Amino acid sequence: MAAAAPYARVMEDMVKGREYATQLQALLRDSPEAGRLLDRILHAMSRTIDTAKAAAAEEEEASEVQSDVTCAGTAGSSKRKAAGGGDKRASCRKRGQQGSSVVTKNIKDLEDGHSWRKYGQKEIQNSKYPKAYFRCTHKYDQQCVAQRQVQRRDDDPDTYTVTYIGMHTCRDPATAVASLVVHAAGVTGDDLHHHAGSRLISFAAANNNASAATTSTTTTGNTTNQQLAVLQPLKLECGGGGEQEEVLSSLTPAGSSAAAEAMRNGNAAAAAATTTGPEPDQGDVTSGLQLQQFYGAGDDLAYMARFSYDDTFDLEDIVVFGAPDSITDIYADE
């Protein structure tokens, strides 16, 4: 820091701008159009900021964002050592490689669209708040290696420093590359709450067909409970030109769970539980599915949203097909 390089200034302004946009969004949340636009703005700004950060981090090891590569390789690991649970953890790091798998960022909203399972928490020296450790829910049934560490910041308890380690290799419909057709048919129209308190959305069947898939009701601590119903995907796309595996059909999670069942149905929203305690102490929140903002316009339009990864693992680039609207996620970075 110290030297206010042009980069720093630009970054500062960008961040400020995004912050203001976020505030504006809150004020304009009653206008779907405005909200949508703001979403786009925010998304664009976030991307710009991330890109700049990544670029800067490559040149000089900045203190905020760092990208390394974890050579997890074919780390089978996970051998249950009965008594001496010794895990040799080889961490080879390579630098300058793209497709970084370690990213840290400061965010206010812990939701990131992935389902995490907390496996530990530690008090950290010089930090007021503990650090929470998460692994992908599908670590064992799908060998997903993604991990996340969350720590509330000392200076700004409203934000968390989140470190993402490893990329998701799971096929969680909520997180993996998958296309779904959803339909914004707010049951009452009122169901389509904007992100008043929570940022969940309600989807309903695209085909009017009442065979609505499972409706997992996510109850946020508050009175907001909405239903998520996702139709079977009509089409599956691969993300980012890379050859992506098959469809989400050959999933064989060992344990028969609601999630597995839902997946079999191609239902993405299965375990969408968004726990937002009145005051999450620190990262101890397990996130579920969320398409964040969704300003569905018409009542009969069907939208197709596609999730794909960024090289930075900045999850969800939601693209909407066949609809004027676009779903964008709001990312309250930094």
Stretch that binds DNA, among 77-85, 92-100, 235-243, 297-305 (CB under 7 A): 77-85
Position among 200, 259, 315, 318 found at the interface with DNA (CB under 7 A): 259
Instruction: Give the end-to-end CA distance of the chain in Å, rounded to a whole number.
Output: 16
Q: Does 255 bind DNA (CB under 7 A)?
A: yes
Q: Does 13 bind DNA (CB under 7 A)?
A: no
Nearest distance in Å: CB 286, DNA: 3
Choose between 112 and 325: whose C-beta lies nearer to DNA: 112
SS3 302: strand
Mind giving me the DSSP string for 54-94?
HHHHHHS--SS---BEE--TT-------TTT--------EE
- Sequence-distant (≥ 6) Cβ neighbours of residue 126 within 8 angstroms: none
DSSP H or E segment with residue 118: strand 116-122
Q: Does 78 bind DNA (CB under 7 A)?
A: yes
- As beta bridge partners, residue 93 has 70
Which of positions 146-175 make contact with DNA (CB under 7 A)?
Answer: 147, 149
Nearest distance in Å: CB 140, DNA: 9
Q: Does 121 bind DNA (CB under 7 A)?
A: yes
Choose between 84 and 96: whose C-beta lies nearer to DNA: 84
Tell me the two tokens of residue 8.
Answer: 């720093």
> Rounded to 5 degrees, what are φ and ψ at 204?
-135, 175
Could you identify the residue written with the tokens 């997992």? 216
- As beta bridge partners, residue 303 has 182
Which of positions 122-141 make contact with DNA (CB under 7 A)?
Answer: 122-126, 131, 133, 135, 137
Which of positions 265-284 make contact with DNA (CB under 7 A)?
Answer: 271, 275, 284
Stretch that binds DNA, among 31-39, 197-205, 230-238, 250-258 (CB under 7 A): 250-258
**R_g (Cα) of the chain, nearest Å:** 20
Sign of CA dihedral 10, 14, 15, 17: positive
Q: Are 323 and 306 in contact (CB under 8 A)?
A: no
Choose between 88 and 246: whose C-beta lies nearer to DNA: 88
# residues near DNA by CB under 7 A: 40
Position among 257, 297, 319, 323 found at the interface with DNA (CB under 7 A): 257
Tell me the two tokens of residue 115.
Answer: 């389902």
CA distance 55 to 331: 19
Nearest distance in Å: CB 219, DNA: 8
Give the binding site for DNA (CB under 7 A): 77-78, 80-90, 116-126, 131, 133, 135, 137, 147, 149, 255-259, 271, 275, 284-286
